[in-house]
Chain A
């Protein structure tokens, strides 16, 4: 038996625990680290079960190549040769940008860096993106625009210090349990004020001082209404506004159009509720906003994020501990995948591909010429391009767009149209069913590297066991692909990759394995002596002055009507993670939620004659899904909620492929749906 310290592969909280390795080289348990600043000896239920899927018999253990329509076992040499040959042929025939790469928020920083490097240095395309597009691209754009840095401003420990916390669009106790628990303790034990703005009656709502249940998609009107009250009652932090921000006059002008009565009408709440929220938030010494997908996954996601930033700047809640705009990143390394430049417009550390000097820097570092300067496809626009025949080949690492992207039938059509699809993953998925080549990857427990948590903390992932079968670490696979494509990519270990990352990435300049051995460091960390940065924007914003960026309310794209009378909102449940590939192969977690389900309010269920656990059909203009009804007072009348974990009842067959115009994030939180009994 041995115990190996590593970082949890689920949400972005970044808990650290030990994997317990049995004498036969398989994982047999988890023990939380008592010394880690976030874990403090604790983990959530997914953490306790994070060992379980690793040795599941379904693991991909050998490369597969499609022959005569069937995926058949092949050697690594055959599979890698085929990948390189077909990608090169595709580019020769259809142009450099006819291929695209989907990187992965599940894999390490080192692997994201190498996939980005493979796309840009070897295949000369900026068509590289990953699923941050689907969760927090609006945050990256929105906060970069207002503050100059698109990440969580504060640290998880700040949740314990705030006097007032506004949680909006985050079911924190379920999706970031060890952050949610800090909120609970701060409220129960310290008497901090809690405002929950979420139309589901989530657990935090039970202990909240105010629970505001707005109509889905009316966040901008709600936040503008709050700011209207703060400005009209002169509750703003005048000194902060004067010294630290710009464009306040424009904010005032736009907010003047959102008196509480008008905002309340849009939101479906009372004016009094808006006034209460405004006064409670503005009167706190240390107030913060915590948000997640309920803010970002809208066609106005960037506007939502900017409005959150506006409110926090207006009340002077930035650059201090216990305050801030705190978007919670949903995956173990979604922050890191963004930091590593697995995005179509930037290299590592958000260095723009459109700037010649930056390209030149990377050309020199990578010893290549002619790095592309055009911004590439996003995850969402790449699928559109494939469906339209503009994109011909796609290389996907550790993502499952058939389950995670909006409008599954559209995704299917796109994948079917591709000339060549490579899927590199740990389990077979609905996406790998379309693959021409499947490459078996090592899981998080079988390789070394780093993940970057939601609080910008870069921390170690360690190899606890040997990869199953012939599986290999993603970074090793990329090295072989690059070499076959004629580019020397040689690293003896993950540490060498991080050393290279540090050398080309200012915000990671001080990230070295010896420094992050136990608790990690928070970026920006510019050199070996830099202590890391727990709180951003202290004294000065990354962009200099904070830019008030007022937004006008825009309704969601598809609202309920007579034909489709419900609002359908999608998301995750506590027990499962994303497309379910890992949690549905973890016994205890899978036992908790076995079937696709749809939450519906008791009143709506009664009016339709539906009972709890009954099978129903949910349909939208995109498709129909069979699921069980969950009748619960968590739901507001007129709204349905459905998690997207279940292959046999995929919520994303129903969602709409409508994108935020800037961030290209889909509107997962609002579309029109109807339901009927399936019995």
Chain B
């Protein structure tokens, strides 16, 4: 196991033991864990707000919203006591999948390149990121082991979660987890082999479609046909862990105080790129649909040297009309897969 100490014993905890540990960590951390909230929906929330729900794969909402939330106050002007916010605890976020860890790594790059986004790093700095993998995916699916891209990983052997700390911060948390037993690390090696042997169909699909998009083989009528099925709900953007666009707006109160907020934006909206004159370089929904795919598969690779769809599957789950990334890529391959 890469990044792991040479010890041949590894700690293994049950979900119940982890739940108790996460509760106790709240004195030092702002802990966010996947739980079943009111009607059973899995969501990031505080331990104790519902039963822990580590199993089940990616939580429906993007995990990066722990650091880049839907709405975030940027600054306040005119308030009597501007320094009313006490020192906040570092965030401990649990439940990332391997694709989520990839997405977070990209988002860190994005928000630190050229200029550093203070607001993002005000939450991200000092945070501890815990991945969940192994035999605990949706419908029993095996979740790929993320490895050292996170601070700590909980790898499920089907019953317990094996705890692997990668960074000092992660190892520190690992020590604070209460209870559990020690098991031989051969169990870990077996899980790693299982992870390495996982099929890469989804990633291959995205790679193959990206190659076609990058060669500009996809014709306008294809995008128009996909756009005909788009109801502009913006969900694909709002759940995408590598989407980073935001809108800024000011809340001006009668008392004269002004709050500047930023909030998630969507390139699927007309207002996203419309100029003050009303002219819009992305004023057509088929162009916007093309952008949604092209940006992740062609524009980002050109700028960042990587495809920025990590195939987390959220946009496919959330799209009401079934035109998430994977579906569109399958249709691209079906239509242009034989093109040179």
Docked CA distance A189–B229 (Å):
11
Segment among A23-31, A284-292, A385-393 that sits at the interface with chain B: A23-31
Segment among A175-183, A231-239, A334-342, A394-402 that sits at the interface with chain B: A175-183
Q: Are A181 and B321 in contact (CB under 8 A)?
A: yes
Q: Are A57 and B252 in contact (CB under 8 A)?
A: yes
Partner of A177, one of B37, B60, B228, B231: B231
Beyond A28-B69, A28-B70, A587-B263, whether A173 also contacts B231 by CB under 8 A is yes
B318 within 8 A of A: yes
Docked CA distance A207–B230 (Å):
12
Q: Who on chain A is nearest to B71 by CB? A: A28
A5 within 8 A of B: yes
A184 within 8 A of B: yes
Docked CA distance A177–B319 (Å):
11
Q: Nearest Cβ in chain B — how far from A38, in angstroms?
A: 11
Q: Nearest Cβ in chain A — how far from B316, in angstroms?
A: 11
Q: Are B70 and A29 in contact (CB under 8 A)?
A: yes
B322 within 8 A of A: yes
Q: Are A588 and B320 in contact (CB under 8 A)?
A: no
In the complex, which residues 75-120 of chain B have their Cβ closer than 8 Å to any Cβ of chain A? none
Q: Are A29 and B71 in contact (CB under 8 A)?
A: yes
Q: Are B229 and A35 in contact (CB under 8 A)?
A: no
Partner of A31, one of B43, B265, B319: B43
Digitize A259-295: 1 where CB-to-B-CB distance is under 8 Å, 0 elsewhere: 0000000000000000000000000000000000000
Q: Nearest Cβ in chain A — how far from B59, in angstroms?
A: 10
Q: Are B39 and A5 in contact (CB under 8 A)?
A: yes
In the complex, which residues 145-204 of chain B have their Cβ closer than 8 Å to any Cβ of chain A? none
Q: Who on chain B is nearest to A56 by CB? A: B251
Q: Are A184 and B37 in contact (CB under 8 A)?
A: no
Q: Nearest Cβ in chain B — how far from A479, in angstroms?
A: 28
Q: Are A16 and B39 in contact (CB under 8 A)?
A: yes
Beyond A20-B70, A28-B70, A30-B70, whether A2 also contacts B45 by CB under 8 A is yes
Beyond A1-B46, A2-B49, A28-B70, whether A518 also contacts B229 by CB under 8 A is no
Partner of A42, one of B46, B69, B271, B320: B320
Q: Nearest Cβ in chain A — how far from B317, in angstroms?
A: 6
Digitize A91-130: 1 where CB-to-B-CB distance is under 8 Å, 0 elsewhere: 0000000000000000000000000000000000000000
Q: Nearest Cβ in chain A — how far from B312, in angstroms?
A: 14
Q: Are A203 and B40 in contact (CB under 8 A)?
A: no
Residues of A contacting B263 in the complex (Cβ-Cβ under 8 angstroms): 587-588
Q: Are B269 and A588 in contact (CB under 8 A)?
A: yes
Segment among A43-51, A150-158, A366-374, A600-608 that sits at the interface with chain B: A43-51
Beyond A18-B43, A206-B228, whether A178 also contacts B320 by CB under 8 A is yes
Q: Are B235 and A591 in contact (CB under 8 A)?
A: no
Docked CA distance A411–B244 (Å):
47
Partner of B41, one of A18, A57, A184: A18
Residues of B contacting A28 in the complex (Cβ-Cβ under 8 angstroms): 69-72
In the complex, which residues 179-209 of chain A have their Cβ closer than 8 Å to any Cβ of chain B? 180-182, 184-185, 188-189, 203, 206-207
Q: Are A188 and B247 in contact (CB under 8 A)?
A: no
Docked CA distance A10–B110 (Å):
36
Beyond A28-B69, A587-B247, whether A189 also contacts B322 by CB under 8 A is yes
Q: Chain A interface: which size bin?
A: 35 or more
Q: Are B41 and A33 in contact (CB under 8 A)?
A: yes
Docked CA distance A188–B60 (Å):
25
A592 within 8 A of B: yes
Q: Are A207 and B247 in contact (CB under 8 A)?
A: no
Docked CA distance A592–B265 (Å):
12
Q: Nearest Cβ in chain A — how far from B133, in angstroms?
A: 21
Partner of A588, one of B38, B41, B265: B265
Q: Are B231 and A42 in contact (CB under 8 A)?
A: no
B42 within 8 A of A: yes
Q: Are A188 and B322 in contact (CB under 8 A)?
A: yes
Q: Are A42 and B322 in contact (CB under 8 A)?
A: no
Q: Nearest Cβ in chain B — how far from A211, in angstroms?
A: 13
Q: Nearest Cβ in chain A — how far from B27, in angstroms?
A: 17
Beyond A29-B70, A45-B234, A177-B320, whether A5 also contacts B247 by CB under 8 A is no
Digitize B30-52: 1 where CB-to-A-CB distance is under 8 Å, 0 elsewhere: 00000001111111011001000
A3 within 8 A of B: yes
Digitize B218-254: 1 where CB-to-A-CB distance is under 8 Å, 0 elsewhere: 0000000000110111110010000000010101111
Docked CA distance A613–B278 (Å):
8
Q: Are A44 and B39 in contact (CB under 8 A)?
A: no
Digitize B290-320: 1 where CB-to-A-CB distance is under 8 Å, 0 elsewhere: 0000000000000000000000000001111
A32 within 8 A of B: yes
Q: Are A18 and B37 in contact (CB under 8 A)?
A: yes
Q: Are B60 and A5 in contact (CB under 8 A)?
A: no
Q: Who on chain B is nearest to A574 by CB? A: B232
Digitize A547-572: 1 where CB-to-B-CB distance is under 8 Å, 0 elsewhere: 00000000000000000000000000
A519 within 8 A of B: yes
Docked CA distance A41–B313 (Å):
13
Give the most central of B41, B43, B69, B234: most A CB within 10 Å.
Answer: B41
Q: Are B322 and A57 in contact (CB under 8 A)?
A: no
Docked CA distance A16–B39 (Å):
10
Give the most central of B45, B269, B278, B321: most A CB within 10 Å.
Answer: B321
Docked CA distance A203–B43 (Å):
33
Q: Who on chain A is nearest to B229 by CB? A: A184
In the complex, which residues 158-177 of chain A have their Cβ closer than 8 Å to any Cβ of chain B? 173-174, 177
Docked CA distance A184–B232 (Å):
13
Beyond A41-B60, A587-B263, whether A31 also contacts B233 by CB under 8 A is no
B270 within 8 A of A: yes
Docked CA distance A43–B253 (Å):
30
A85 within 8 A of B: no
Q: Nearest Cβ in chain B — how far from A595, in angstroms?
A: 9
Q: Are A48 and B233 in contact (CB under 8 A)?
A: yes
Beyond A18-B41, A28-B71, A587-B249, whether A592 also contacts B271 by CB under 8 A is yes
Q: Are A3 and B232 in contact (CB under 8 A)?
A: no
Residues of B contacting A35 in the complex (Cβ-Cβ under 8 angstroms): 39-41
Q: Who on chain B is nearest to A174 by CB? A: B231
Q: Are A45 and B232 in contact (CB under 8 A)?
A: yes
Residues of B contacting A4 in the complex (Cβ-Cβ under 8 angstroms): 38
Partner of B233, one of A44, A51, A189, A518: A44
Q: Are A36 and B39 in contact (CB under 8 A)?
A: yes
Give the most central of A28, A55, A182: most B CB within 10 Å.
Answer: A28
Q: Are B269 and A592 in contact (CB under 8 A)?
A: yes
A34 within 8 A of B: yes
Q: Are B231 and A181 in contact (CB under 8 A)?
A: yes
Residues of B contacting A173 in the complex (Cβ-Cβ under 8 angstroms): 231
In the complex, which residues 1-16 of chain A have their Cβ closer than 8 Å to any Cβ of chain B? 1-5, 16
Beyond A45-B232, A181-B321, A588-B265, whether A33 also contacts B45 by CB under 8 A is no
Docked CA distance A37–B274 (Å):
36
Docked CA distance A517–B37 (Å):
13
Docked CA distance A423–B51 (Å):
44
Q: Nearest Cβ in chain A — how far from B134, in angstroms?
A: 22
Q: Are A41 and B234 in contact (CB under 8 A)?
A: no
Residues of A contacting B317 in the complex (Cβ-Cβ under 8 angstroms): 41
A-B contacts, 6 of them at CB < 8 A, read A32-B318, A43-B235, A44-B231, A44-B320, A588-B269, A591-B269
List the 5 closest pairs (A to B, CB-CB), nearest first: A181-B320, A29-B70, A591-B271, A5-B38, A518-B39
- Please name 18 further chain A to chain B contacts, defined as beta carbons within 8 Å, in addition to the given A29-B69, A32-B318, sorted by A numbering: A1-B46, A33-B41, A41-B41, A41-B318, A42-B318, A44-B320, A45-B232, A47-B233, A57-B251, A57-B253, A180-B231, A181-B321, A184-B322, A185-B320, A185-B321, A188-B229, A588-B234, A592-B269
A residues sitting closer than 8 Å to B (CB atoms) are 1-5, 16, 18, 20, 22, 28-36, 41-45, 47-48, 51, 55-57, 173-174, 177-178, 180-182, 184-185, 188-189, 203, 206-207, 517-519, 574, 587-588, 591-592, 613
